[in-house]
Amino acid sequence: MTNFPMKDKSMIAKEIKYVVNPLETYFTNVRRSGAKWTIKDKSKGPGETGWDLQVARKNQTLVIEAKHIKQSFKAAMEGLTLSPLVRHSKQMKRNPVICWAIGVGWRGGWSQDDHMAHIYQILFDYFARNLQFWKFYSNILKVRYIFFIKNKDVAKISFIKMHSHPTENPKKVLA
Give the pLDDT band (50/70/90) at residue 26. very high
Instruction: Say how far apart CA 147 and CA 28 lie, in whole Å.
Output: 15
The 3-state DSSP class for residue 78 equals helix
What lies within 8 Å, CB to CB, of 110 at 6+ separation is 18, 104, 150, 151
Instruction: Say how far apart CA 24 and CA 20 lie, in whole Å.
Output: 6
Give 130-142 pLDDT, tens digit per residue.
888 888 888 888 8
103: nearest Cα among 117, 116, 113: 116
Q: Which of 54-63, 109-118, 156-165 has the lowest mean pLDDT?
A: 109-118
Instruction: Say how far apart CA 121 and CA 17 lie, in whole Å.
Output: 24
Q: So what's the pLDDT on residue 27?
A: 94
Q: Name the residue ranges covered by the structural domains of the chain.
A: 9-172
Q: Which of 67-71, 79-83, 145-149, 171-175 has the lowest mean pLDDT?
A: 171-175
